[in-house]
């Protein structure tokens, strides 16, 4: 059976997302190792002074490009692919999606100019009253608005498909993509309000001051679900593509996969205060309530773990795997896309445990803003998400360009090198955090570093070096694939793991949108309404801006 064909224009449009994403990753990743090397005592920043003024300017570039730009562009491209391919129909209004994409591009450029001019060295959290140039805030706004517009294009396409197919269960990859885009629309309201009501008018000189506590609360309204916006596309691939790639396996349960996406939509926003356990202006009662709901998100994560592992086991046994665990060896480890995503999933297990630790209310007193935190999120966003996206690009780029993947064996090696480098880097960061090392500090220069941290700081540098090698191989493979003269003979097959159960038996309430959306919004009102009402009622715009970098 021939698979659904995307038009050349559609492939180009999705490919443009990948291009911006990978370029951002290339620039942003240059600075990751520089932070790690600094920790080990090899500080290259003095040599970069003509272009990059400080460790913190480099850290801002790294955080903004890798955590915000690489992820958002890759995700919007991947979701667009899934909606078109999954629904087997073109976008309802392709112009709208193009407008969204270009708004995002203009936004990235607008934010990049002040960052590179050292006018926005505020890191990717941009906490006021550190005050960046206004263009930085305009740029962020355009990226968010552009991604909304692209999201609307996806919703319209889904709605049009539903009209044409009233009584059919929606294809899982399209369903999961639209839920992810919807989560993003809801959760970015926080940062949109933060920028539009405080930071932008303040940076333009229209208001004198801001309320830093309120700004943090808006920020984390978006900041936590942002994590799920990153993760859900990786989950989508793990659920519905990886089992197929790993050994022609099927998805264990279509119903529970859908249920877990819905629970993520409902639960990932109203828990943002777990990033603010040690903020002075939020009452402990709300902090505690948000911590309990955060534990609730553990539930769909565990369901995902079960369904994904069960689907992979199905693939492993189909490949002749036996035993309780020996089937793991029978998965298609030689396929770079499989190796990358399996290794990403393995490290995500530890990322999940760390996340649960961070979320555990008063346990956060030991960890808050220590090196444990970047140690943690390099397992989640920088491995579970990034290494999975790299794995996806190993089939998606050949699919989109019709060119053969350059050196697949190197691509397999790249995943393993990332895996090893990240274990060394992340483990030493976690340990440093437990020993009390703060995050966001050039620890090679900090005056209070005791000798017992030194061996771990050295390991951070070693891990960074290994990751740099892996990242360089990845970028080389992407470049050489895009230029590869060797074409694929037939269109690359899109890996789709069908559900083991008949999807027509998926309960109808798992394909109904309104109750889940109302549930998500209702819970946000309950969990954030009183907190924000109180804060806005007592708003004190008393903090003028500072440029202290």
Partner 1 sequence: MSANKIHIDRYERNWMMFTAVLLVLFATAVSVSAFGMGIQVPAPEQRVDPKTVGTDPNSPWSSPGLREVAPGKYDAYILARAVPTWEYLPKEITIPAGSSVSFYVTSSDVQHGFKIQDTNANFMVLPGQVSKLTIKFDKPGTYNYICTEYCGSGHGIMYGAIIVTP
49 among known catalytic residues: no
Q: Under the criterion CB under 8 A, does residue 524 sit at the interface with partner 1?
A: no
Q: Under the criterion CB under 8 A, does residue 15 sit at the interface with partner 1?
A: no
- Give the CA diameter of the chain: 69
From 50, 205, 320, 447, residue interacting with partner 1 (rule: CB under 8 A)? 447
Structure-token pair, residue 466: 């290994």
Backbone φ/ψ region at 118: left (φ over 0), alpha (ψ -120 to 50), beta: left
Interface segment toward partner 1; rule CB under 8 A; list 85-93, 174-182, 368-376, 459-467: 368-376
In angstroms, what CA-CA distances link 500 with 28, 155, 255, 263? 41, 27, 10, 22
Compute the least distance from the CB of residue 229 to partner 1, in Å: 23
378 among known catalytic residues: yes
Q: Under the criterion CB under 8 A, does residue 448 sit at the interface with partner 1?
A: yes
From 28, 58, 86, 129, residue interacting with partner 1 (rule: CB under 8 A)? 129
Structure-token pair, residue 167: 């009584």
Q: Considering beta carbons, is residue 301 or 470 the nearer one to partner 1?
A: 301
Closest to 74 in 3D by CA, of 387, 405, 511: 387
- Which residue in the list 216, 224, 258, 275 is annotated as catalytic? 224
228 among known catalytic residues: yes
Backbone φ/ψ region at 112: left (φ over 0), alpha (ψ -120 to 50), beta: alpha
Q: Under the criterion CB under 8 A, does residue 361 sit at the interface with partner 1?
A: yes
Closest to 112 in 3D by CA, of 139, 85, 151: 139
For residues 246 to 275, the per-residue mask of contacts with partner 1, x marking binding by CB under 8 A and - elsewhere, is: ------xx-xx--x----------------
Structure-token pair, residue 502: 């008949």
Are 226 and 187 in contact by the 8 Å Cβ rule? The answer is yes
Tell me which residue has tokens 């629904």.
87
- Which residue in the list 277, 377, 389, 528 is annotated as catalytic? 377
**Rounded Cα distance, 429 and 432, in Å:** 5
Q: Under the criterion CB under 8 A, does residue 434 sit at the interface with partner 1?
A: no
- Which residue in the list 39, 314, 378, 456 is annotated as catalytic? 378
From 333, 410, 416, 549, residue interacting with partner 1 (rule: CB under 8 A)? 549
Interface segment toward partner 1; rule CB under 8 A; list 121-129, 327-335, 485-493, 515-523: 121-129
Q: Under the criterion CB under 8 A, does residue 194 sit at the interface with partner 1?
A: no
From 98, 201, 279, 407, residue interacting with partner 1 (rule: CB under 8 A)? 279
**Rounded Cα distance, 20 and 117, in Å:** 21
Q: Considering beta carbons, is residue 239 or 277 the nearer one to partner 1?
A: 277
From 71, 188, 217, 291, residue interacting with partner 1 (rule: CB under 8 A)? 291
Tell me the three-class secondary structure of 136-187, residue by residue.
HHHHHHHHHHHHHHHHHHHHHHHHHHHHHCCCCCCCHHHHHHHHHHHHHHHH
Compute the least distance from the CB of residue 537 to partner 1, in Å: 12
For residues 294 to 333, the per-residue mask of contacts with partner 1, x marking binding by CB under 8 A and - elsewhere, is: -xx-xx--xx--xx--x-----------------------
376 among known catalytic residues: yes
439 among known catalytic residues: yes
**Rounded Cα distance, 80 and 194, in Å:** 28
Q: Considering beta carbons, is residue 10 or 211 the nearer one to partner 1?
A: 211
For residues 18 to 57, the per-residue mask of contacts with partner 1, x marking binding by CB under 8 A and - elsewhere, is: ------------------------------------x-x-
Tell me the three-class secondary structure of 198-220, residue by residue.
HHHHHHCCCCCCECHHHHHHHHH
Q: Considering beta carbons, is residue 402 or 545 the nearer one to partner 1?
A: 545
From 507, 522, 529, 530, residue interacting with partner 1 (rule: CB under 8 A)? 507
Interface segment toward partner 1; rule CB under 8 A; list 71-79, 195-203, 345-353, 535-543: 535-543
Tell me which residue has tokens 């000798």.
451
- Which residue in the list 162, 317, 439, 547 is annotated as catalytic? 439
Q: Under the criterion CB under 8 A, does residue 436 sit at the interface with partner 1?
A: yes
Compute the least distance from the CB of residue 60 to partner 1, in Å: 10
State which H helix or E strand residue 529 sits in. Answer: helix 514-537
- Which residue in the list 89, 162, 317, 440 is annotated as catalytic? 440
Closest to 359 in 3D by CA, of 227, 549, 492: 227
Buried b or exposed e, range 218-240, using 16+ CB within 10 angstroms: bbbbbbbbbbbbbbbbbbbbbbb
From 212, 233, 391, 495, residue interacting with partner 1 (rule: CB under 8 A)? 212
Q: Under the criterion CB under 8 A, does residue 536 sit at the interface with partner 1?
A: no
Q: Under the criterion CB under 8 A, does residue 181 sit at the interface with partner 1?
A: no
Buried b or exposed e, range 104-141, using 16+ CB within 10 angstroms: bbebbebbbebbeebbbbbbbebebbbbbbbbbbbbbb
Q: Which residues are designated catalytic? A: 224, 228, 376-378, 439-440
């Amino acid at each position: 059976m021939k698979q659904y064909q995307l038009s050349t224009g559609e492939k180009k449009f999705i490919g443009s997302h990948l291009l911006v994403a990978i370029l951002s990753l290339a620039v942003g990743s240059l600075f990751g190792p520089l932070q790690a090397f600094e920790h080990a005592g090899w500080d290259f920043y003095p040599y970069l002074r003509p272009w990059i003024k400080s460790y913190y300017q480099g850290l801002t570039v790294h955080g903004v490009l890798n955590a915000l730009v690489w992820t958002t562009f890759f995700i919007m491209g991947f979701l667009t692919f899934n909606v078109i391919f999954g629904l087997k129909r073109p976008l309802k209004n392709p112009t709208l999606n193009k407008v969204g994409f270009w708004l995002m591009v203009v936004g990235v450029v607008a934010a990049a100019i002040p960052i590179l001019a050292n006018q926005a060295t505020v890191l990717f959290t941009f906490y006021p009253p550190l005050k960046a140039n206004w263009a930085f805030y305009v740029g962020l706004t355009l990226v968010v608005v552009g991604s909304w517009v692209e999201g609307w294009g996806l919703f319209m396409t889904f709605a049009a498909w539903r009209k044409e197919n009233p009584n059919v269960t929606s294809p899982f990859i399209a369903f999961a993509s639209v839920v992810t885009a919807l989560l993003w629309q809801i959760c970015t309201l926080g940062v949109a309000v933060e920028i539009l009501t405080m930071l932008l008018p303040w940076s333009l000189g229209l208001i004198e001051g801001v309320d830093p506590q309120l700004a943090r609360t808006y920020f984390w309204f978006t900041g936590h679900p942002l994590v799920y916006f990153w993760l859900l596309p990786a989950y989508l691939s793990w659920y519905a593509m990886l089992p197929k790639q790993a050994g022609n396996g099927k998805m264990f349960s279509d119903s529970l996969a859908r249920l877990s996406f819905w629970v993520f939509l409902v639960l990932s926003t109203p828990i943002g205060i777990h990033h603010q356990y040690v903020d002075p202006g939020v009452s402990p009662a709300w902090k505690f309530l948000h911590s309990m709901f955060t534990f609730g998100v553990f539930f769909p994560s565990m369901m995902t773990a079960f369904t994904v592992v069960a689907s992979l086991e199905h693939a492993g046994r189909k490949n002749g795997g036996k035993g309780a665990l020996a089937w793991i060896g029978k998965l298609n480890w030689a396929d770079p896309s499989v190796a990358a995503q399996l290794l990403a999933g393995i490290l995500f297990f530890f990322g999940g445990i760390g996340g649960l630790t961070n979320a555990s209310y008063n346990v956060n007193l030991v960890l808050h803003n220590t090196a444990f935190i970047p140690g943690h999120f390099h397992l989640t966003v920088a491995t579970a998400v990034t290494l999975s996206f790299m794995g996806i690009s190993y089939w998606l780029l050949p699919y989109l360009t019709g060119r053969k993947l350059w050196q697949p064996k190197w691509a397999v090696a790249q995943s393993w090198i990332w895996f090893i480098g990240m274990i060394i880097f992340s483990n030493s960061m976690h340990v440093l955090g437990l020993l009390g090392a703060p995050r966001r500090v050039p620890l090679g220069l900090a005056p209070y570093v005791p000798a017992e941290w030194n061996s771990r700081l050295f390991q951070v540098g070693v891990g960074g070096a290994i990751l740099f090698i892996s990242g360089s191989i990845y970028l080389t493979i992407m470049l050489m694939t895009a230029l590869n003269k060797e074409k694929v003979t037939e269109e690359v097959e899109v890996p789709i793991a069908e559900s083991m159960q008949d999807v027509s038996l998926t309960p109808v309430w798992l394909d109904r949108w309104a109750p889940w959306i109302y549930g998500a919004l209702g819970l946000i009102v309950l969990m954030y309404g009183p907190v924000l009402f109180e804060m806005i009622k007592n708003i004190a715009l008393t903090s003028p801006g500072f440029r202290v970098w």
